[in-house]
Amino acid sequence: MGMVSTTNKIIVEVPHRISGFFEIVDKENGIPIKNPEKIGSRGAGFNVSGVGKTIISNKKLEKKEESQCSIYINEEKLDKKAETTYFIFDYIRKLIDYPIEVKIEHFFDLPVGCGYGASGSGALGTIFGLNKLLNLNLTNLESGRIAHIAEIVNKTGLGTVCGQLGRGLCVLKEPGYPCNQERLKSPNDLLVICGSFGKIKTKSILSDENLSSNIKQAGKLALRELLSKLNYRNFVKVSFQFVKDIQIMSVLKLEKVSELLNDLWKLDIIGASMNQLGRSVYVFCKKGKEKEVFEIYNTYKPDIKTFKLTINNQKTINFKEN
């Protein structure tokens, strides 16, 4: 090769996901689980039509050079601060015997840190993209495992990766990896209307002892309730009950979210709840009912950003032409 460097580029799209409820599983018989593969959550959520786009370009370096990686999220340069993505770069760097210079850019349709599974989308885009770009020959199962571990180790998610891989509206019946999912049908004319006030750091919740013990109790109950009547209507109802049970709105003083949800439940909708985890809400309604939902959302402007989405039943990993 000598001095000639080869640059290649790959683009992967992975859907955002909203989690309705979850039960944290990080202990077995009261003892913390050490293996990150076995840590995760039971619960349920759904992929949406909004996607995260990951663009990776790569340069082969000279033998003696150090591998390096720059990472951007929505054009902001974060590098190592994008911990989940950087973890994956660091992991695959050990699988190859030559140095690389990689640039990873994430572009998200929906706001980051607001309960739309951006970290899971970015993790999957990164590992599936790098696998293809560098010809690592990892199986899909192995790629998913690396994405799951990256989220667990960096406390950016628990079941998001498994949910995203499960497609559509799906239930995670068991925690950890490999995933154990069951998909639920949802009607074609179902809309998901979202409103977001801003961020909640997933880390801060997962490290809050009281809140996480509430989540374990309420999550167990919610899953039992959903499994007793496994359909999309019951999913929203059970999710909202879970949100009330864990008292997250009072713990985090989310008065606006609470008030908005009360307003929304008065409408002719299938239901509404709060994204897990973000200062965001979502409504399930039939086409034609969205006008009244937006009317309510609009009374919260300029504090709220709104999105009109659908449940995404398409495949999770989508390679795009450059």
Q: For residues 63 and 165, what is the distance between their CA atoms, to the nearest angstrom?
A: 36
Other C-beta atoms closer than 10 Å to the C-beta of 290 total: 17
Contact, 61 vs 101, CB < 8 A? yes
- Listed by start position, the domains of the chain span 7-182, 185-309
Helix axes 140-153, 118-133, angle to 10 degrees: 140
* pLDDT tens digit sequence for 53-94: 999 999 989 999 999 999 999 999 999 999 999 999 999 999
Residues 54, 104 contacting (CB under 8 angstroms): yes
> Which are the contacts of 289, defined by CB distance < 8 A and separation ≥ 6?
191, 267, 268, 269
Query: What parts of the chain have a pLDDT lower than 70?
Result: 1-7
Contact 14, 54 (CB under 8 A): yes
Are 22 and 132 in contact, with CB atoms under 8 Å apart?
A: no
Token output for 215: 């989540």
- Could you tell me if 302 and 200 are in contact, meaning their C-beta atoms sit under 8 angstroms apart? no
Residue 122 DSSP SS3: helix
CA distance 46 to 15: 10
Predicted local distance difference test score (pLDDT) of residue 201: 83
185-309 under CATH 3.40.190.10, yes or no = no
User: Check: CATH 3.30.230.10 for 7-182?
Assistant: yes
Return the pLDDT at 169. 99
- Yes or no: say if 240 and 273 are a contact pair by the CB < 8 Å rule: yes
Report the distance separating Cα 220 and Cα 100, nearest Å: 45
Q: How many whole angstroms separate alpha carbon 64 and alpha carbon 99?
A: 8
- The whole model's pTM is what? 0.96
